[in-house]
Chain A
Amino acid sequence: MPVFNSVTCPICGCLCDDIEVTVENNEVVKIKNGCAVCEAKFIGYKGEHRIHTPLMRKDGKLVPVSMDEAVHAAAEVLANANYPILYGWSSTSSEAQRVGVELTEEVGGIMDNTAVVCHGPSILGVQEVGIPTATLGQIRHRADLVIYWGCDPWSAHPRHLERYTSFTEGRFEKSEWTSYMQKLKAGAGKKKLDSALRSGLAKGPVPKPQACYVGGVPPSLSKGGRKLIVVDVRKTMTAEMADFFLQVEPNKDYEVMQAIRALVKDQELDVDSVGGVPVEYLEAVADALVNCEFGVIFFGMGLTQSAGKFRNIEVAIQLVRDLNARTKFMIMPMRGHFNVTGADVVQAWQSGYPYGVDFSRGYPTYNPGETTCTDVLLRDELDASLVIAADPGANFPKRAVQNMVKHPLIVIDPHMNATAMLGDIVFPVAFVGIEVDGTAYRMDHVPIPLHKVVEPPEGVLSDEEILKKILEEVRIIKAQKAEQEKKEAA
């Protein structure tokens, strides 16, 4: 029973690479160190939705076809398209992403990745004001103030706190795990009592839910050791663990941050509260920000997808930038897919632009809102799509998906996901990070190798191999077309 150490988990932007995988008869039978999501993927990836042969839609139904037939059909679609989109990329390796750029350039289409519905606004914000950031180890070693704003790592990046922030041991800061456990125990007793009072099992006044900002600024903001602040519109699981939870009204994060910026610059505000938060609480937060040794803000969809979008990220970065005049402060987006960072990185080094790259003019152009595929889909400007390592059929706006299925749709995925179910040509592929090697980039841009621990199913190739086959066939078809046109012109 081979046991693989230092395996990299291919799920989220944490890219934990300390997973121990036990394999028996080409099956993963045990996982150590991974979170529940990691275990679910490694044990369950072979599920009932796995595709084993290429498929094509004939008479309205997807039927098995040979690899050659599928490759040729896909290549014909792309070679003849006037404005194709090649979307996805976030759950495959940088090696496959490189072929993606070459293919998109060859067919004169748009290459876009899942950032467009996720952290694209973060990239736009960074392109306006830059970003003071660091690798996650700097946070682990140095941060005494950790802020999660508009994100819930407990649910979405489960090991983030234990590997990189509040619950890690750093060279200069210790883990807060013990004090958190003590707080939990102390809180558990009170929770039990409150519950008993409410259900009448114990005698006493029924506790009413406490309004958020009652009783003054909590003393936990001035304790020693690492501090954890969570800012969100509702009390998430991560917020339950925080030393201070700041509840803001939905779509008011921009106002709150702009107010804190003004306070950090010693300005006075005319108003008494911002986004539902009394100004004295904002002043306490501003104090905590300025007085820390090393602070960091992690943020997620709460900022990128609420009103303001990229300007929310911009103001968060501007706040962190302003704070660097007083102390050391960093900011980092909580990237979702395990290699969406890689997709941005690869597209940028080969074309200059990170996502929404349009090759239709023979050279790369970039203008989110114009060249991003969600917008192209909403305006129905395309005439073909290739989707790989993503599931827009499930995640995109309804009208975008309706327009997508009006045109030939090529899907490359291990699973019969929502997009594959709508596809016209479907290619099964191996799971990167389980059945295929590769490289991925963590949310802080650190490249980490992905490892193969089991063989893929018989006849199932990697993303990189399928893309190369399609690219080769596209080139043959285009050469034949050019020959034909030369003959006709003569």
Chain B
Amino acid sequence: MITLTPLKQFKYPIHAECITPETFQGKTASEIAKLPLNEGNKPKQLGDLFKIEESAAEAPNIIINGDVSEVRHIGQGMKTGEIVVNGNAGMHLGEKMAGGKITVNGDVGGWAGSAMKKGLIEIHGNASDYLASPYRGISEGMKGGKIIVDGNVGSDSGCYLRGGLIKIKGNAGPFLGYHISDGIIYVEKNAASRLGANMVGGKIVVSGVADELLPSFTVDAVKPKVKIDDTESAQGPFYVFLGDLAENGTGKLFISKANNPQIGPIYGKYL
């Protein structure tokens, strides 16, 4: 196990693609200290920015103790092993992750879990915008794996989702699940406007209050519950909406009936 402790409060962005279990594997602490990375526009080494300590413990592979909200790309592309961050983590956490586990005891920046294929990311604080959403111009998102956020998420999360599960225990910002084609997003609390815009498949479940739905969704039925994954189902009853009609989509929104009394008067007549 390697423990990294920031040597100062970071101000300039640091791109730390080198912080993955695979990269550290088989290296001594002093070899790890020599790994190159940038701090702003200055080329540095990992040892210039972090105190690096090695211990015999097998897991987790990497622990980061401190505020690393300016440290980006932690865990990028990792396939195995575990990273624990005891602090806030920067953007692009676990981007392109293909296995293993990342736990953040704090908040994360934008694009956490972007292009994820497999693995587990647990964020015990809040996530910023673009959680699990792909880079600009790419229309394929998270393919598999699981992301759990205890707090709230920002806007445009889960865009182009095509597999896997995103579970948000707090509130979700606007455009959640934009153009989702498969996979499930589960929001235990409230979901903001433009939920599921351009959705073509998949499921978004909201157990709290949903802002006004897009006019291109049509109400279909009321269901008593909905399966989230093999371990859990969400208890309804839920209004089930189909859409997005603007894309001739067949995605489903499950909106809590109890917490959304405003839906009945508008859509009730179609049920």
Name the contact of B11 in the complex, choosing from A271, A359, A361, A381 (C-beta under 8 A): A381
Let me know if B219 is at the binding interface, CB within 8 A. Answer: yes
Main secondary structure of the interface of B (DSSP, over half): loop
Contact check, A270 vs B41: say whether CB atoms are below 8 A apart: no
A81 CB → nearest B CB, Å = 8
Contacts of B248 in A (CB 8 A): 265, 267
Contact check, B245 vs A267: say whether CB atoms are below 8 A apart: yes
Name the contact of A367 in the complex, choosing from B136, B246, B270 (C-beta under 8 A): B136
Contacts of B198 in A (CB 8 A): 318
Q: In this complex, what residue of A is CB-closest to B266? A: A271
Name the contact of A255 in the complex, choosing from B38, B137, B215, B245 (C-beta under 8 A): B215
CA distance A268 to B216 in the complex (A): 8
Name the contact of B193 in the complex, choosing from A268, A307, A359 (C-beta under 8 A): A307
User: Taking A262-B246, A311-B175, A369-B130 as contacts, is the C-beta distance between A82 and B215 under 8 angstroms?
Assistant: no
Name the contact of B136 in the complex, choosing from A128, A267, A311 (C-beta under 8 A): A128
Let me know if A337 is at the binding interface, CB within 8 A. Answer: no
Let me know if A457 is at the binding interface, CB within 8 A. Answer: no
CA distance A11 to B93 in the complex (A): 43
Let me know if B39 is at the binding interface, CB within 8 A. Answer: yes
Contact check, B136 vs A127: say whether CB atoms are below 8 A apart: yes
A-B contact pairs, 8 of them (CB 8 A): A82-B41, A83-B41, A127-B136, A258-B246, A271-B215, A318-B246, A370-B91, A383-B40
Give A residues with C-beta under 8 Å from B: 81-83, 107-109, 124, 127-128, 254-255, 258-259, 261-262, 265, 267-271, 274, 307-308, 311, 315, 318, 359-361, 366-370, 380-381, 383
Among A107, A127, A128, A259, the most chain B Cβ lie within 10 Å of the Cβ of A128
A270 CB → nearest B CB, Å = 5
User: Taking A82-B40, A262-B216, A360-B41 as contacts, is the C-beta distance between A254 and B246 under 8 angstroms?
Assistant: no
B114 CB → nearest A CB, Å = 10
Which B66-115 residues have a C-beta within 8 angstroms of A? 70, 72, 91, 110-111
Give B residues with C-beta under 8 Å from A: 11-13, 15, 38-42, 70, 72, 91, 110-111, 129-130, 135-137, 139, 156, 174-175, 178, 193-194, 197-198, 212, 214-219, 244-246, 248, 266-267, 270
Contacts of A361 in B (CB 8 A): 15, 38, 41
Contact check, A369 vs B41: say whether CB atoms are below 8 A apart: no
CA distance A169 to B159 in the complex (A): 45
Contacts of B139 in A (CB 8 A): 128
CA distance A359 to B110 in the complex (A): 20
Contact check, A270 vs B136: say whether CB atoms are below 8 A apart: no
Contact check, B216 vs A127: say whether CB atoms are below 8 A apart: no
Contacts of B15 in A (CB 8 A): 361
Among B42, B135, B139, B216, the most chain A Cβ lie within 10 Å of the Cβ of B216
Contacts of B244 in A (CB 8 A): 258
Contact check, A83 vs B136: say whether CB atoms are below 8 A apart: no
Contact check, A367 vs B194: say whether CB atoms are below 8 A apart: no
